[in-house]
Amino acid sequence: MINLTGKSILTTIKTMLTTIEYSLQSDLETSLKAEAENWKLDDKIARIWAKDASVWTNDDEAKWLGWLDIVGEELGDLQKYRDLQTDLTTAGFKDVLLMGMGGSSLCPEVLAMTFGKANFHILDSTVPAQVKTIEDKLDLTKTLFIVASKSGSTLEPNCFKQYFFEKVAEAVGRENAGKQFIAITDPGSKMEQVAKEDGFRHIFYGKPQIGGRFSALSAFGMTAAAAMGLDVESFLTNSKEMVDACRVKDVTANPGALLGLILGLCYKHGRDKLTIFTSPEIHDLGAWMEQLVAESTGKNGVSIIPVDREPIQAAAKYGDNRIFAFLSLKGDTSFDDAYRELTSAGHPAVKIELESIDNLGQEFFRWEFATAVAGAIMRINPFNQPDVESAKIEARKITDEYEQTGSLPDEQAFFEADGVSLFSSGEYAKKLETAVDAAGERSLEGILDAHLAHVIEDDYFAVLGYVQMNPETEMLLQTIREKVLARTGVATCLGFGPRFLHSTGQAYKGGANNGVFLQITSDDAFDLAVPGQRYTFGVVKSAQSRGDFQVLLDRGRRALRVHLGADVTGCLKMLSDLI
């Protein structure tokens, strides 16, 4: 160990291909040593691998630990992926579209972006413009469609499947449409039944003992990897090195357990904002990490909030509620100065170096194991997601009402101006109005200002955009986020709906009540029908955003919804100017 500053201690351990380095203040390092000794005495690493639920809360954790063994199981069943690649090569598909949410789509997205598979597309949005943009990129007669859904009952992938199956049936005939579809689902699911009835080309089965966010190295990630032409055997063999390293009983020599102890202990010391910086080549890994960490740790009033793609700041601008994670490829030194500055200032940080992008699977497993360990430190069940379900229930109520009545439930804005409507709970709206009235005339700018005034030290601020996810809207929402960061200095997050509902949304609703939320919704310039349903994609999007917002309000969150007109770009520019 090398004493860096008198305040921080730097330690490095290596597996065969990856390096993790960390720096902690002396009090955290002392806690880490003590906790590592406790884990050694309690033999907790062995107990995790023995699937002992008492490591956590002794609830149902044991039935969700299939991810521990999945790499070995998949390596023993590689022929299915070889056969798939041979089949797809012969079939001559031009593009692949994977349709899924959360854990079913985030790992494939990371793989496609990292390995440069431009013909592999992801659909995880019910915004009509997003669906149509994807459709317009494809030759429907030469596209392979992958429907990924563990339960087979998730609303969004079912809508996607219905929409594109009908489109393909119109183009090639209903009797041939199924030949362009693959399902990834758990055995016995509704999606398995649909896939068989519609004559899907293949069905790949997930493992029921693996939750979605822990499924990257299972069929949900590896079927996508095979479909985009990756060498699955090599990828899994590389990943197995991390799996084996995470069996080591000495926590300080176990790269996953060590990271998990650091995350959990930082949380206990008030460092509950995990701020992620990644090399450009692996930038999408942060989005996968967001879901894993937020959905696993955000519940029962506690949470580690992942902060991805936030602009890096000078060390002095950060509060004492952050822990930093730097993930880079070997040879990328762009973060070295920031790492030294932050650790010299006493901020806890970890730095992970990947030998190459081929090591991505190692990071999938390292962070899965670390998140499970952090959950044990936090004394929670890291494998359930009760508040994801609450938002789904609220959205389902709204879609069911639409099916019965043909219209969405009425809602009343508490302020309207310039084509923009504002919504919140009666209590919070009154607080905002009172603050604005005390300062002068009510205005959109004044209410936004009053909302931001509710951000206090140790909070985080999240922009939740139910708009099309494209470079332009992402830039505009990122600008809003950066202005709030500059004004308040608190951690900031940015999520696009409905994808974040299956990710960070769990922590926003079920975690600590230290978040301030700006939800942004809009009218749709056009809408698309969902075949077989009375509701449309626009109705589904509205139901999801309203359900999400209602749960935030029900949990007493400081949340403001801004509803824009159909000119989303123009309205976002105006909104940004007002902040």
Number of Cα atoms under 13 Å in the Cβ half of residue 445: 8
Closest CA to 261 of 362, 374, 134, 171: 374
Q: Note the helical H segments in 440-536.
A: 444-452, 471-488, 505-510
Domains in the chain: ranges and CATH: 2-48+240-378 (3.40.50.10490), 70-237 (3.40.50.10490), 386-578 (3.40.50.10490)
Closest CA to 358 of 259, 212, 237, 216: 237
Angle at 34 between CA 242 and CA 257, to 5 degrees: 15
List strand residue ranges (DSSP E) for 391-525, in order: 415-417, 420-423, 460-465, 491-496, 515-522
Beta bridge partners of 122: 98
Name the pTM for this structure: 0.95
Buried-exposed string 546-563: b where 16+ CB fall within 10 A, e elsewhere = bbbbbbbbebebbbbbbb
List strand residue ranges (DSSP E) for 199-355, in order: 202-205, 273-278, 305-308, 322-329, 349-354
CB atoms within 10 A of CB 378: 23
Residues with Cβ < 8 Å from 14, sequence gap 6 or more?
A: none
Residue 173: exposed, middle, or buried by beta-carbon count in 10 A (0-12, 13-18, 19+)? exposed
Inter-residue contact 343 to 21 (CB < 8 Å)? no
Tens of each residue's pLDDT in the chain, 579 residues: 222 233 344 455 544 557 899 999 999 999 999 999 999 999 999 999 999 999 999 999 999 999 999 999 999 999 999 999 999 999 999 999 999 999 999 999 999 999 999 999 999 999 999 999 999 999 999 999 999 999 998 899 999 999 999 999 999 999 999 999 999 999 999 999 999 999 999 999 999 999 999 999 999 999 999 999 999 999 999 999 999 999 999 999 999 999 999 999 999 999 999 999 999 999 999 999 999 999 999 999 999 999 999 999 999 999 999 999 999 999 999 999 999 999 999 999 999 999 999 999 999 999 999 999 999 999 999 999 888 778 788 888 888 888 889 888 899 999 999 999 999 999 999 999 999 998 888 999 999 999 999 999 999 999 999 999 999 999 999 999 999 999 999 999 999 999 999 899 999 999 999 999 999 999 999 999 999 999 999 999 999 999 999 999 999 999 999 999 999 999 999 999 999
* Phi then psi dihedrals of residue 526, to 5 deg: -155, 170
Token pair 């055997």 in the structure block, residue: 233
Question: Distance between CA 419 and CA 113 in Å, rounded?
Answer: 37
